[in-house]
Amino acid sequence: MSTKNKLLRFAENLSLPNVFENYSFSDPVLYKSLHDKVDFKGRWNELYFKNDFPITLELACGGGEYSLGLSALFPQKNLIGVDIKGARIWRGAKKAFEENNTRIAFVRTKIELIHHFFEKNEISEIWITFPDPFLKHSKSTKRLTSPFYLSLYKNILKHDAIVHLKTDDTNLYQFTLEVIHEDPDFILLESNEDIYRTDLIYPELELKTYYELKHLEQGKRIKYIRFQYKA
């Protein structure tokens, strides 16, 4: 993508009512525009969504394909996509805005800062779809299912909240199973090394991101883990 197109998308994000940005990662504050600070922590449903539907986060959401798909499948859920790249978020935010879908919002920030923007017991579900697997062992703490990130999720999840992982990467799949097994606050509900080998158990697994489509074209097997927060 050209620099010009990125700048145009950044500018349009400022005008989209469903995009909230953390401009300085050393100062975890959300803004609706350059000077319009917002604080929805613990009150997303009250102040933004104006309903009492459960909230689902899509982490490293990219263009928000999964958030948009989940919103269509589950009209009584609120969706929030989180990504560090504003140019990616723009795509999903613009589509949701054009469809007048007020049950989706997007937050541009680092995922390790999410506990600054969501309160304990505020999130009912997390989707992690095709994240960077960080294959080098030295970078394993950067994986979105590492103990470090699971500890962050515990700060915002409700009791019995569900966490989903879809990935093509065998190393990340096995790593996540090991992390869940070692963490007493989570229990494994489902694991599948090749979800398209048989009929899908959950309709939401049929949703496909840009990266999943590329992986399928390359003949890769899509893996899925579903686990639950029990603390």
Task: Give the model's pLDDT for residue 125.
Answer: 98
pTM listed for this prediction = 0.94
| Number of domain units in the chain | 1
CATH number, position 159: 3.40.50.150
Task: Give the model's pLDDT for residue 43.
Answer: 98
Structure tokens that stand for 39 in this block: 């604080």
d(CA 213, CA 219): 10
Active site residues: 132
Residue 172 domain boundaries: 3-229
Task: Give the model's pLDDT for residue 5.
Answer: 65
Residue numbers in the chain where pLDDT is lower than 70 = 1-13
Task: Give the model's pLDDT for residue 135.
Answer: 87
Task: Give the model's pLDDT for residue 137.
Answer: 84
Task: Give the model's pLDDT for residue 14.
Answer: 74
Task: Give the model's pLDDT for residue 138.
Answer: 86
First to last CA, the chain: 43
